[in-house]
Amino acid sequence: MKNNFRMMMGRALVLTVLVAPVFAASNSRYLALGDSISFGYYPLPPPPQPIQSYVGYPEILDPRVPKQEINLSCPGQTSASFLYGSQASGTEVPGENCEYISALLPGWKAANLPLHNSYTGTQADYAVSQLLANKSIDLVTISLGGNDLLFVQYTCGGPANPNFVTCVQGALSDPTGALFAYGNNLGTILTKIRKEAQYTGTIVLVKYFATSTDPLVKQAIGALNHVMAQVGSQFGAKVADAYTAFQIASIPHGGDPCKAGLLVRLSPTTCDVHPTRLGQNVLATTVLIAIFSR
């Protein structure tokens, strides 16, 4: 399986060169949705930076088609705030919400930080309006759910809590917990796209990658990705396997994505959870594989 994945990644690198002219020739458009990963958030130097400095996999996917891509992604977005905006703040980690309104910890939008495409209202509502108004859109990608896991970490008191591992594992296995809520929210989002927006084109859900070799991190990310794939299959969505791609790319470095240069380095021994340009290129490659897979 991994050998086949390597072969597909190699082919996708060739497709990276070819795909933009194809999009341009057909005058198609691309709608990118999600959080800081698809936004291209980069913590060094700290925000705000010019919007052009935030390069996510959507910008890498569509480099030769100026103004063809619409990227609504917003750092801090959760599946709940994607749908309900600031009204979802009661179930969010303070400050980890694109639209969280707080004097001390405003969300990205509330702080008037730059977006690739500015809009009012929720990301869900604006995405629907774009799909209804622009019938040439034939690709939608979604990166959403990583911040939902931060809520689990937050409610479990963080790694300093001696019962942290037990708490997280309990939350992940809770049939009515965070993953259940995420699955419901993702189902609602995909229903809005397919039914309300009447969109019949390609949807690619981008799996999350493990940000370290910690077994608990891998367990949590794997559980989220499983729910993502299960829900997506009900709406004909394809899945970009970023998890496996990062694992393969990290093999020469003992499976550590930080040492592999896939994550932003904060110190000689630590990395942020956000991808470097190399990491974003890996994500773009997995999306290409998904687009052209049957």
pLDDT in tens, 66-109: 458 899 999 999 999 999 987 776 667 777 788 776 666 788 98
Write the pLDDT tens digit of every residue in 235-269. Answer: 999 999 999 999 999 999 999 999 999 999 999 99
* pLDDT recorded at residue 157: 92
Sequence spans of domains, the chain: 2-75+110-292
Contact in structure between 146 and 205 (CB atoms under 8 Å): no
* Distance separating alpha carbons of residues 15 and 30, to the nearest angstrom: 16
* pLDDT recorded at residue 105: 72
Ranking 6-10, 95-99, 272-276, 284-288 by mean pLDDT, the lowest is 6-10
- At residue 184 the predicted structure's pLDDT band, cuts being 50, 70 and 90, is very high
2-75+110-292: CATH topology is Rossmann fold (3.40.50)
* pLDDT recorded at residue 55: 96
Determine the straight-line distance between the first and last CA of the chain, rounded to whole angstroms: 16
Query: Two tokens at 87?
Result: 């009204």
* Distance separating alpha carbons of residues 9 and 40, to the nearest angstrom: 21
- The overall average pLDDT reported for the chain is 87
Single-letter code of the amino acid located at 205: L
* pLDDT recorded at residue 97: 82
Contact in structure between 79 and 185 (CB atoms under 8 Å): yes
- At residue 10 the predicted structure's pLDDT band, cuts being 50, 70 and 90, is very low
Write the pLDDT tens digit of every residue in 46-68. Answer: 888 999 999 999 999 976 444 58
Single-letter code of the amino acid located at 219: Q
**Cα three-residue angle 276-229-152, rounded to 5 degrees:** 65
Q: Would the pTM count as exceeding 0.85?
A: yes
Which residues lie closer than 8 Å to 176 by C-beta, 6 or more apart?
none
* pLDDT recorded at residue 96: 73
Residue % of the chain over a pLDDT of 90: 74
Q: Which residue has the tokens 């300093």?
A: 160
3-state SS string over the chain? CHHHHHHHHHHHHHHHHHHHHHHHHHCCEEEEEECHHHHCCCCCCCCCCCHHHCCCHHHHHCCCCCCCEEECCCCCCCHHHHHHHHHHHHHCCCCCCCCCCCCCCCCCCCCCCCCCCCCCCCHHHHHHHHHHHCCCEEEEEEECCHHHHHHHHHHCCCCCCCCHHHHHHHHHHCCCCHHHHHHHHHHHHHHHHHHHCCCCCEEEEECCCCCCCCHHHHHHHHHHHHHHHHHHHCCCCEEECHHHHHHHHHHHHCCCCCCCCCEEECCCCCEEEEECHHHHHHHHHHHHHHHHCC
* pLDDT recorded at residue 63: 61
Among 189, 283, 282, smallest CA distance to 227 is for 189
* Distance separating alpha carbons of residues 60 and 20, to the nearest angstrom: 10
CB count, 10 Å around CB of 11?
A: 14
* pLDDT recorded at residue 86: 78
